[in-house]
Amino acid sequence: MAPSRTELPQDSVVFEAPQPKTSYDINVPYHALSEEYERRIRGRTEFPEYLPVWEEGIWHDDFPEFEYHDPALRANKKMPNLFSPGVTAAPVTPRMGTILSGVKMETLSPEAKDELALLICQRKFVVLREQSDFLHKGPQYQVDFMSYFGKLSQQPVTGAIKGFPQFHVIHRDGNEEEIENFFKHKMTTTIWHHDVSYERQPPGYVMLGILACPDIGGDTIVADMGMAYKRLSPIFQEMINQLTAVHTSRNLIAHARRAKGVVRADPIDSTHPVVRVHPVTGERALFYNMEWPEEVIGLKDQEADVVMKFLMDFVRNGHDFQARVHWEKHSVVMFDNRTTLHTGTVDYDTSAQARHLFRLCSMCEVPISVADYEAGKR
């Protein structure tokens, strides 16, 4: 019998393991806040209810497969409901990213949400400025909003909001010692990734709510994996079109256990195509990243090492298909997790200003391979 969502499995094994040398991801805390630290930061944040908590005794089962209907497929392509009077749009780069001003997210109609989904699919990410009212609506409101775009994933190890395991909370404030230790072992904080691609139905739409951020620094960089795919030669495209890879949360779960943190789920392994087809735009995009994939099916280990390192190095160096998102307080960013990679950057003084944000992930369809897409067209 599968464990319930409120009780730990009776046969779970508790074991001692060496403490990890560094954080799995320096952008994210993995331990409950000390009472002294929490007292200090509560007086420095506008959103104390969004500080991360690690509730004990909660267990998440694997998400069962579900039928998904993308809201973007219902959208009016002219987007009259989203672009109401007073709304303006500015591109981040010519090919990707749109900054919307004048939108009040809490007033969006279902039709406007459909059009927002379509804009995200077309432009890869959308930045919505001046969303203080939306952010102050609280966790339940934001969960309900994002549930419109798909069922929400739940966090297996990281800090969430009390009573809302759908939230992944990032709060970095005064962790200079941790960062110093990190750089004793690591050369960079960047990890190019899709969010939780180990899920059977990985997120299509992801929301980041910015509660506090440095005036300068702490940006997020986004890479267009559709354009990355287009830049490859037809022969190389044909080869990787046939590949699948195993995405797993095993390493994340193992790190949390070594760090004696809270674990709320068993590891998940899912096999996804290395090239997926977007159900709304028909675009082909690389679906591989530096965090979750572990094995490429059909290639020997040495072959996979060469091919996938080539792809990731190509993406990291492809500044002409990347965009840098500069955070502003009370902004909300929504992006298409199917066709982008992203990474945070730690280049700011955490003793001076906090970086505090939340993430919600709306899961979508099982990734569509090129072969399945072409078969469906016939």
Measure the CA–CA gap between 286 and 236, rounded to whole angstroms.
12
Cα separation, 126 vs 100, whole angstroms: 7
The phi and psi torsions of 168 (rounded to 5 degrees) equal -110, 120
Task: Quickly tell me which residue has 């995009």 as its tokens.
Answer: 285
CB 54 within 8 A of CB 156: no
| pLDDT tens digit sequence for 181-190 | 766 777 776 7
Give the domain ranges of the chain. 35-377
38: number of Cβ within 10 Å: 13
| Residue pair 33/41 in contact by the 8 Å Cβ criterion | yes
**How many CA atoms lie within 13 Å of 71's alpha carbon, on the beta-carbon side?**
25
CB neighbours of residue 60 within 10 Å: 18
In whole angstroms, give the CA distance from residue 196 to residue 363.
10
Confidence (pLDDT) at 246: 98
| pLDDT tens digits along 141-160 | 999 999 999 999 998 988 88
Greater model confidence, 157 or 22: 157
CATH fit for domain 35-377, picks 3.40.50.720, 3.60.130.10, 3.40.50.2000, 3.10.150.10: 3.60.130.10
User: What is the chain's mean pLDDT, rounded?
Assistant: 88
With contact defined as beta carbons under 8 Å apart, do 357 and 208 qualify? yes
Torsion angle, alpha carbons of 272, 275, 279, 281, to 10: 160
3-state secondary structure of 240: helix
| CA atoms of 267 and 248, how far apart (whole Å) | 7
Q: Where are the beta strands (DSSP E) in 280-354?
A: 284-286, 293-297, 322-325, 332-336, 340-344
Phi, psi of 240 (to 5 degrees): -75, -20
Tell me the pLDDT band of 7, cut-offs 50, 70 and 90: very low
pLDDT by residue (tens digit) across 64-98?
Answer: 999 999 999 999 999 999 999 999 999 999 999 99
- Cβ neighbours of 347 (radius 10 Å): 11
pLDDT single digits (tens) 222-268: 999 999 999 999 999 999 999 999 999 999 999 888 888 888 999 99
| CB neighbours of residue 199 within 10 Å | 22
The pLDDT confidence band at residue 13, using thresholds 50, 70 and 90, is very low
Query: How much is the pLDDT for 69?
Result: 97
